[in-house]
Amino acid sequence: MGPTARAQFVYNRRRRRSGGRHAVEEASDEEEQRQDSSSSSEDEEDEAEASGEEVADDDDDEEEEEEEEAAVEPAAEEDPAAAAAGEKRGGRKGRITISLKKVCKVCKRTGHEAGFKGAVYIDCPMKPCFLCKMPGHTTLTCPHRVAMEHGVIPAPRRNTNTSLDYVFQSQIKGKISMVKPKFLIPNQLESGNIKFHQRRVTCLEFHPTNNNVLLSGDKKGLLGVWDYVKLHEKITYDSVHSCILNSMKIDNANDGILYTASSDGTISCTDLDTGIGSPLLNLNPNGWNGPSSWRMIYGMDLNTDKGLILVADNFGFLYFLDRRSKTRIGHPILIHKKGSKVTTLHCSPARPEVLLSSGNDHYARIWDTRKLEANSPLASLAHGRVVNSGYFSPQSGNKILTTCQDNRIRVWDYIFGDLQSPSREIVHSHDFNRHLTPFKAEWDPKDYTETVAVVGRYISENYNGVALHPIDFIDTSSGKLLAEVMDPDITTISPVNKLHPRDDILATGSSRSIFIWKPKTEDELTEERTKQKAKEYVYGSGSQKKTNGKHDNSSDDDSDGDSGRKNKKAKKTRFTCTTKGKGKSKV
DNA sequence: ACCTCATGTCCCC
DNA sequence: TGGGGACCCTGAGG
């Protein structure tokens, strides 16, 4: 590639990135603004730009500079007026430099650009770190990303060696198996279901008894029932709800019945075989009267002991439903700030009368449902932002795991201990984005030690030139990343994840698609270990300790240019679900 | 290879 | 305290 060709390439690339917007700046050699910081008072932006570049171009200063020079020539060609002006001046001064300013699409300032460079996202230096939200560094240099593996860093453990800890230990010791079962990460893509749903998947649930059945809900309210072993056996019911399906629960006592909660303000109970449903609750009996009065249901859980369904709306109220009589019990109780959304409800698996709610008012709260009144929580757990979810640990119910929009996963080790502050805060990228289903870190229901949690990751990582958003397995007792699960075929973000209650299977909802993951077979693992050994032998030990062999984070291959993000050379999809067994509708 | 839009929360006025 | 504009890694459909 000759210099002119390269210049043109750089120019085109830049135009593409900045969406056609560009600023042409004229400057003579003497006035090179890079050098001249003292006389730049005429332009505030220049100052910001200079300081911005210092941060942003940390790693590839030279390259940027080269591009700047290279971009001069085509810029003059492209804009005749600028070129003419340049010539005029140039004639006078002898030589002229026209530099094409970079325009940042994030802050609209010039001098730097945010966006993907290959598979690596370059931050806007004017914004705080996208991962930990602290100013002074970018996501690429965030200590939470660099210091430990991929944005997961533990906060120091509190409440250690207290008497409560002792009680906790002795209390759960009888319940947990002494031999920790071998933990297998389902990191091998078993099957992908393309275009099963028409809109993004919002919730997933495994059938509690029928091992191979996965239930899924989407933004349109479509309910999917899918046997992922007999792939053709899939059914969709489109008239259960009219908009976002937020939560699904199956009663263990009657596992043919599915309860669903939706933003259409209804709770529905659907027969899984026939798809015939009946509404249990409708919070909008008078229909649409504008957004200020429309009630939506996000949080829902079952109290199987009492045959109750607990439901919470987007105005902060909790409702009780009797499962059998299908009637409301009592009056709604305000459990979160009035007018704020309750995001999840969870009844403790060990003590079903203990309820955990999380809400948009930046709190998660623990309640005793036997004596429930507004403003009477057993505890209020403060968070930095909106709490996406809060769950009791799956076995003892003694731990709490919350996901908050301040990019932190919080863990409380013992609910009867000091709840003032979490036992741990784990910085993890799961930002809010209006286009994504909120991320929810969930416990592995099979893990008797109650440590493993799964959560999708927002920011991407460069995996051999492809930007992928993995699904993280986190050890909540240390904050360490146990595994990151990804596949080159899945380039979309995966906010919805569900672990199978008994098998080592992970279901993922990513955009419109559903994926099933299984652990690698023993043969595959052996092969991988062999490769890993060979790699270590070649490169020396120490740096190669990733759980997933596919991944080489140090790779900074920009040869793909802009298209690096899209996986153009992705290997063939292992399985693509055809339109066979098209969905049927409710009668 | 563009453009448009859906749309929840934050933050500032 | 409330309304309105802004918004960083979206993704489907046109």
Q: Which residue has the higher pLDDT, A206 or A190?
A: A206
CA dihedral A539, A543, A549, A553 (to 10 degrees): -110
Is residue A328's pLDDT more than 90?
yes
Whole-angstrom CA distances from A65 to A102, A214, A217, A263 are 12, 53, 50, 51
Q: Are A182 and A510 in contact (CB under 8 A)?
A: no
Q: What letter would DSSP give residue A174? A: T
Percent over 90 (pLDDT), chain A: 36
Reported confidence tier of residue A525, pLDDT bands at 50, 70, 90: confident
pLDDT for A194 equals 63
Over range A54-76, report the average pLDDT.
35
pLDDT for A19 equals 31
CA dihedral A513, A517, A523, A526 (to 10 degrees): 100
Nucleotide with minimal C1' distance from the CA of A219 is B6
Reported confidence tier of residue A565, pLDDT bands at 50, 70, 90: very low
Q: Side chain identity at A198, as an amino acid letter? A: Q
Q: Which residue is nearest to nucleotide B6 (CA to C1')?
A: A435
Is residue A444's pLDDT more than 50?
yes
Is residue A315's pLDDT more than 80?
yes
Nucleotide with minimal C1' distance from the CA of A133 is C8
Q: Which of A134, A115, A150 has the alpha carbon at shortest distance from A456?
A: A150
Nucleotide with minimal C1' distance from the CA of A199 is C12
Is residue A366's pLDDT more than 80?
yes
- Two tokens, residue A257: 């019945």
Residues in chain A: 587
Reported confidence tier of residue A100, pLDDT bands at 50, 70, 90: low
Nucleotides of strand C within 7 Å of the protein's CB atoms? 7-13
Angstrom distance, A380 CA to B9 C1': 22
Angstrom distance, A196 CA to C12 C1': 14
pLDDT for A472 equals 93
Angstrom distance, A435 CA to C14 C1': 19
Is residue A316's pLDDT more than 50?
yes
Nucleotide with minimal C1' distance from the CA of A362 is B9
Q: Which residue has the higher pLDDT, A282 or A527?
A: A282
Instruction: Kindly report the backbone phi and psi dihedral angles of residue A216, in degrees, each rounded to the nearest multiple of 5, phi listed first.
Output: -140, 150
Structure pTM? 0.74
User: Is residue A568's beta carbon less than 7 angstroms from any atom in nucleic acid strand B?
Assistant: no
Is residue A82's pLDDT more than 60?
no
pLDDT for A164 equals 54
Q: Which residue is nearest to nucleotide C12 (CA to C1')?
A: A199
pLDDT for A542 equals 33
pLDDT for A71 equals 36
Angstrom distance, A10 CA to B13 C1': 42
Reported confidence tier of residue A410, pLDDT bands at 50, 70, 90: very high
Angstrom distance, A383 CA to C1 C1': 22
Q: Which residue is nearest to nucleotide C10 (CA to C1')?
A: A435
pLDDT for A308 equals 94
Angstrom distance, A88 CA to B1 C1': 37
Angstrom distance, A104 CA to C6 C1': 16
Nucleotide with minimal C1' distance from the CA of A12 is B1
Q: Which residue is nearest to nucleotide C11 (CA to C1')?
A: A511
pLDDT for A101 equals 60
Backbone conformation region of residue A446, classed left if phi is above 0, alpha if psi is from -120 to 50, else beta: alpha
Nucleotide with minimal C1' distance from the CA of A130 is C8
Is residue A175's pLDDT more than 80?
no
Over range A520-543, report the average pLDDT.
66
Angstrom distance, A323 CA to B5 C1': 40
Q: Are A190 and A520 in contact (CB under 8 A)?
A: no
- Gap between the Cα atoms of A123 and A113, Å rounded: 8
- Gap between the Cα atoms of A495 and A430, Å rounded: 8
Whole-angstrom CA distances from A133 to A141, A363, A437, A527 are 12, 19, 21, 40
Q: Side chain identity at A150, as an amino acid letter? A: H
Residue keyed to tokens 């802009």 = A562
Angstrom distance, A318 CA to C2 C1': 25
- Gap between the Cα atoms of A459 and A493, Å rounded: 8
Angstrom distance, A79 CA to C13 C1': 34
Angstrom distance, A389 CA to B10 C1': 19
Query: What are the pLDDT digits (tens) for A469-487?
Result: 999 999 999 888 899 998 8
Is residue A23's pLDDT more than 60?
no
pLDDT for A372 equals 85
Is residue A94's pLDDT more than 80?
no
User: Is residue A330's beta carbon less than 7 angstroms from any atom in nucleic acid strand B?
Assistant: no
Is residue A182's pLDDT more than 70?
no
User: Is residue A385's beta carbon less than 7 angstroms from any atom in nucleic acid strand B?
Assistant: yes
User: Is residue A360's beta carbon less than 7 angstroms from any atom in nucleic acid strand B?
Assistant: yes
Q: What letter would DSSP give residue A335? A: -
Q: Which residue is nearest to nucleotide B7 (CA to C1')?
A: A434
Range among A66-80, A272-286, A399-413 with highest mean pLDDT value: A399-413
List, in sequence order, every residue forming a beta bridge with A143; answer none if it has no partner: none
Nucleotide with minimal C1' distance from the CA of A469 is C9
- Two tokens, residue A537: 């032998």
Over range A90-109, report the average pLDDT.
57
- Gap between the Cα atoms of A454 and A428, Å rounded: 12
Nucleotides of strand B within 7 Å of the protein's CB atoms? 1-3, 6-10
User: Is residue A492's beta carbon less than 7 angstroms from any atom in nucleic acid strand C?
Assistant: yes
Instruction: Kindly report the backbone phi and psi dihedral angles of residue A43, in degrees, each rounded to the nearest multiple of 5, phi listed first.
Output: -135, 110
E strands, A127-169, where? none
- Gap between the Cα atoms of A218 and A241, Å rounded: 10
Is residue A39's pLDDT more than 70?
no
Which of A35-44, A247-256, A340-349 is the least confident region? Answer: A35-44
User: Is residue A135's beta carbon less than 7 angstroms from any atom in nucleic acid strand B?
Assistant: no
Nucleotide with minimal C1' distance from the CA of A458 is C9
Reported confidence tier of residue A531, pLDDT bands at 50, 70, 90: confident
Q: Side chain identity at A174, as an amino acid letter? A: G
Angstrom distance, A334 CA to B8 C1': 22
User: Is residue A292's beta carbon less than 7 angstroms from any atom in nucleic acid strand B?
Assistant: no
User: Is residue A16's beta carbon less than 7 angstroms from any atom in nucleic acid strand B?
Assistant: yes
Report residue A239 CA to chain centroid gap.
Answer: 29
Over range A375-393, report the average pLDDT.
92
Angstrom distance, A200 CA to B5 C1': 15
Nucleotide with minimal C1' distance from the CA of A565 is C9
Range among A126-140, A236-250, A340-354, A525-539 with highest mean pLDDT value: A340-354
The average confidence (pLDDT) of chain A is 72
Q: Which residue has the higher pLDDT, A422 or A84?
A: A422
User: Is residue A19's beta carbon less than 7 angstroms from any atom in nucleic acid strand B?
Assistant: yes
Is residue A156's pLDDT more than 50?
no
Burial of A439 (0-12, 13-18, 19+ CB in 10 A): buried
pLDDT for A169 equals 53
Angstrom distance, A241 CA to C2 C1': 32
- Gap between the Cα atoms of A191 and A214, Å rounded: 13
pLDDT for A430 equals 92
